Amino acid sequence: MAGNTFGQFFRITTAGESHGPANIVVIDGLPAGIPITIAEIQHDLDRRRPGQSKITSHRHESDEAAILSGLFDGKTTGTPLAILIRNADQRPGDYEEMKLKYRPGHADFTYEAKYGFRDYRGGGRASARETVTRVAAGAVAKKVLTSLNADIQVLAYVKQIGTISADIADPAAITPEQIEATIVRCPDSIAAKKMIDLIEQVHKERDSIGGLAEIIVRGIPAGWGEPVFDKLNAELAKAIMSIPAVTGVEFGVGFAAVSARGSENNDPFISTAAGIQTTTNHHGGIQGGISTGMPILIRCAVKPTSSIPREQQTVTSAGESATITVKGRHDPCLLPRFIPVAEAMVAIVLADHGLRQRQARI
């Protein structure tokens, strides 16, 4: 109702601020009988954690998850699964200036415009700290997906940082190992090296840089998604645009469709041993809002980190001109830690629609 719940059948509700005691997610709608371990959740949380490499924020958050309910004998019980992640490394002093001034590129101004005041400690609810609950829920969603179909795999990776673009011959063939092989999470190791250098250079320049992520999903059978408003691509677009810093999203050929002809853009159907497929995949795995069985292909743009350690022009709550130099330990590029968050949100949407699809026929 107020924006903190997502999904219909696999439904998550999250709470928590950057500098409060904890972040929490309640997952409702989980069918009984799905095996889940805390280690599986922790695995993805560790991929998102700050301080994981030289190109991410040096903050320390152990981000240890605790399951409070919904699990018995290692399996979901059908009742809600609650996961608690306590906040640790808070330095409120870092944020004192934020109390009075609006940080450019952040939600300080808009939260105050909306609510009349704001929790200014580290951005409060608007901080990307909240994505920790998305990742925890995403790990559970991945278990739902593999319970529905063992072949399903949701992978995200860095496609571009600044103007350095990875050369990916076939997105559908990328492996998790290739992605995790570099700290920037780009499976093209040559481009990855250049990307890391660029991020370090940008950091030295007290600046930040944007990037492009690509998400590929394999193993989704034909038929997932709903007509009209809850199209699979519409729901995925919302999920991805809801992640902090995302500025655009596209599916299949995406914006290249603008200058395409129908005769070249339509994907012809063929019969194969694996069933009906298309010879090309311009549509990116979704047609009419429903999965075709072809790999789902999504790309999204992520803006450069708004928190940069330079003096910027702004105003105070009272409307007076001021300058602000944002303190704290920020990522010079959001992409390496964005990857597990993107995977999580895509997995959450797909788990929801995988369960919804069980209602399609009597």
- Out of 37, 58, 60, 66, the residue judged to bind a second copy by CB under 8 A: 66
- Cα–Cα dist 107/62, whole Å: 26
SS3 10: coil
Give the shortest CB-298-to-a second copy separation in angstroms: 10
Considering only residues 37, 92, 113, 189, which one is a binding residue for a second copy as defined by CB under 8 A? 113
- Binding status of residue 233 toward a second copy by CB under 8 A: yes
* Residue 42 near a second copy by CB under 8 A: no
Report the residue number, 173 or 360, with the smaller CB distance to a second copy.
360
Nearer to a second copy, 176 or 288 (CB): 288
Q: Name the phi and psi angles at 156, rounded to 5.
A: -125, 150
Task: Choose the stretch contacting a second copy; rule: CB under 8 A; options: 16-24, 53-61, 88-96, 167-175.
Answer: 16-24
Q: Which is nearer to a second copy, 16 or 50 (CB)?
A: 16
Across the beta sheet with 65-69, the strand order is 5-6, 11-15, 22-28, 81-86, 65-69
Q: Which of 51, 234, 328, 329 binds a second copy (CB under 8 A)?
A: 234
Q: Which is nearer to a second copy, 44 or 235 (CB)?
A: 235
Q: What H or E segment, with its residue span, contains residue 277?
A: strand 275-278
Beta strands 11-15 and 22-28 are antiparallel
Quick one: 57 or 306, whose CB is closer to a second copy? 306
Using CB under 8 A, which of 212, 219, 327, 328 touches a second copy?
212
For a second copy, the closer of residues 177 and 313 by Cβ is: 313
3-state secondary structure of 80: coil
Could you say whether residue 358 binds a second copy (CB under 8 A)? yes
CB-based contacts of 349, cutoff 8 Å, min separation 6: 7, 232, 235, 236, 239
**177 or 318: CB nearest a second copy:** 318
Nearest distance, CB of residue 177 and a second copy, angstroms: 25
Instruction: Pick out residues in 129-158 that bind a second copy (CB under 8 A).
Output: 130, 144, 147-148
DSSP letters spanning 91-147: -GGGGGGGGTBPPTTSSHHHHHHHHSS---GGGGGGSGGGHHHHHHHHHHHHHHHHH
Quick one: residue 326, left, alpha or beta (phi over 0 = left, psi -120 to 50 = alpha)?
beta
Cβ–Cβ < 8 Å for 70, 140: no
Site for a second copy in 277-336 (CB under 8 A): 278-279, 283-284, 286-293, 301-308, 310, 312-315, 319-321
Which residues have CB under 8 Å from 93's CB, separation 6+? none
Stretch that binds a second copy, among 22-30, 44-52, 171-179, 182-190 (CB under 8 A): 22-30
φ, ψ dihedrals at 316, nearest 5°? -90, 170
Residue ranges in 87-106 that form contacts with a second copy under rule CB under 8 A: 102, 104-106
Q: Which of residues 244-263 bind a second copy (CB under 8 A)?
A: 244, 247-263
The amino acid at 213:
A
Q: How far is the CB of 19 from a second copy (least distance, A)?
A: 10
- The site string for a second copy over 170-209 (x = CB under 8 A, - otherwise) reads --------------------------------x----xxx
Q: Which residues pair with 97 in a beta bridge?
A: none
Query: Applying CB under 8 A, what is the total number of residues that bind a second copy?
Result: 159
